[in-house]
Structure 1
């Protein structure tokens, strides 16, 4: 037993410890927010979620279980408890596994490097031995700072940089007391092979490698469908995001979807799409200059009309499973971001962005919500949790339950 009181300690948006009880409650709340299935499939579909422990990947896992009735495998890369607590994703995965077990879903969680062939082989073995050797859905939601190519051994590093010229933007930071400050930050443009390195990490190469690996093992079911999660975002953040190095990677991801869609159609009558999600507070998004300010302002405009990730992924699962038709744009992408990019919403956010200062930011953005959302990424600021009480931190990784 290793019970102790855990207080939030952070450096900016990065927290050094996570709270197991808070992470568990957050997962339970997400599950409860998913509407009950509108129909029960004759056979529970087998799904693989790559990046299942955080952000949109976690939302895809929970919505898939609670709404689409999936069984299958979640893959993530999390750190076990030790001198410090485990990562928040470690505790979220344990909580998700317990909810899946409680609701009768056969879900296995594997912890390791999704980019590696070792993990791909491990997933293939579990599919063959546990799930009848057939995969119906694959959701790809990976955000990583680096990737090692299994063929060459070369390691690539992704960067957040504009392309062509330096970029200056407003951004939002918080002091130790939670007060927000609007600052100007600058970022130098990509140089050397920054673009190629970022595409190698965050583009579609590894997604395609997963499909190739599973197809070569004969593991794709007839009608197999795969979706990679993406983001476009506002013109306010385009220079650092969609028009920057990450945007180049997202464009590569979308081109990969078109290539895979054609191949899967011929191979198993299947398809591949990208799903363009809307803005949210995630561990990945808080690292992008300007995103914190943008999301806080967006919340100030929309309030509770913002659709959380689990709501968006419920919509995606409904489209993938045929509850409602697949709704694609002219580029073949599922668009879950239309509420964010509605002209009236973007006009209102832009007006606030242009006038935002430290002095008036509390009137324009929902800073209390944003600051709490950042804390909730690590299990803090969760209603109903007694943070003065000791909590068990040595939570084991979920074992494979008996089918």
Structure 2
């Protein structure tokens, strides 16, 4: 088994290696942070499918689902295995750690690694539901963030872009140099051109989510009362031009429209429903790629401190609503809102004031930079408390194989 001493090597917010022990500890800490629920007897929990289970809110949905609802079922993600030159991706190691927790908790989870957009994966999942989980699926959580998607029906590959719509957008953003020294810059992003909006909607909108539901329904695998949720984000007016009003926002609007269509269909066929869940801000591998989001999140943490709600707590609240442990709280557009703490008027006023005052010289007093910088490193298993980073660690951790 290959063992190495790993140090963080990065290009901006992208790290070249991941730390297995740090990723394992991170998942263990999420498990401990998630509130306990009433015990669910082994083998009696609802059957869930979580698509995009290895990172961000999808990982939080998996951990919270295990602890709050006692789920069993299938987790799908797309991760890279370790090689002689590189470690595995962080999601690979997080998945292995999640599988260990599920096994210890006595929950039957199967982890699949592959392209969630493909019909091959949809068939594999459907077969498992049929053969291993009694032929009935209770919940589907959709949490996919991808740069491109190939439509299996046409073979066409679409690519998503992060662009404003209508005109260029100039915004502040936060960067760190190789020594971790912060700088506030202004960046300009040109507007969407040609079919940028359509391409982004094809990747990040509701088309694949709907295809999953149609595929599973066509196999007769949706349980009575089946519920599905696509995870989404709205965010602050400060980031709206590049996010909610940009190409990604168009995709989110399509996702919400898809939820309404699916919900009508599911209500008629299995007495079920489809909704989107609007989550609050968090540092994720996807969010750090969006101009302005890093600065905004650091400032938000500067305002809220420990009152910033972590993803696993948000997803615990989602599972409580889905399972009936708490009332289903929908806004006027039928969305579950887990972001009210972030968008509270006093919070946004304070963040907006700090945004206006933010420069390279002032940022240290306005944003929680130590927290943000550490959160970025923790995405890859570094800067996790309790881990000895001077010790060599095994990097060729195998992908979890389900028990028979």
> Normalization by structure 2: what TM-score?
0.99
The 5 Å alignment of 1:287-298 reads: 287-298=289-300
Aligned to 1:361: 363
Deviation of 1:40 (Å): 3.2
Deviation of 1:39 (Å): 5.7
Aligned to 1:345: 347
Deviating runs (4+, > 6 A) in structure 1? none
CA distance in 1, matches of 2:97, 2:24: 5
Aligned to 2:4: 4
Secondary structure of the residue aligned to 1:281 is coil
Deviation of 1:172 (Å): 0.1
The 5 Å alignment of 1:382-393 reads: 382-393=384-395
Aligned to 1:140: 142
Aligned to 2:55: 54
The 5 Å alignment of 1:153-232 reads: 153-232=155-234
Q: Which moves more between the two structures, 34-43 or 227-236?
A: 34-43
Aligned to 1:375: 377
Deviation of 1:346 (Å): 0.1
Sort the Cα spacing of 1:85 and 1:159 in 2 relative to 1 into closer, same or farther, 3 A.
same
CA distance in 1, matches of 2:88, 2:341: 35
CA distance in 2, matches of 1:43, 1:12: 45
CA distance in 2, matches of 1:63, 1:361: 34
CA distance in 2, matches of 1:349, 1:68: 35
Deviation of 1:395 (Å): 0.2
The 5 Å alignment of 1:39-50 reads: 40=40, 43-50=44-51
> Normalization by structure 1: what TM-score?
0.99
Aligned to 2:79: 78
Residue deviations 1:328-382, cap 9 Å, x none?
0000000000000000000000000001000010000000000000000000000
Deviation of 1:35 (Å): 1.2
* Paired positions, count: 402
Residue deviations 1:12-70, cap 9 Å, x none?
00000000000000000001111111363793100000000000000000000011100
RMSD between aligned alpha carbons? 0.8
Residue 34 (str. 1) matches residue 34 (str. 2): yes
Aligned to 2:14: 14
Aligned to 1:320: 322
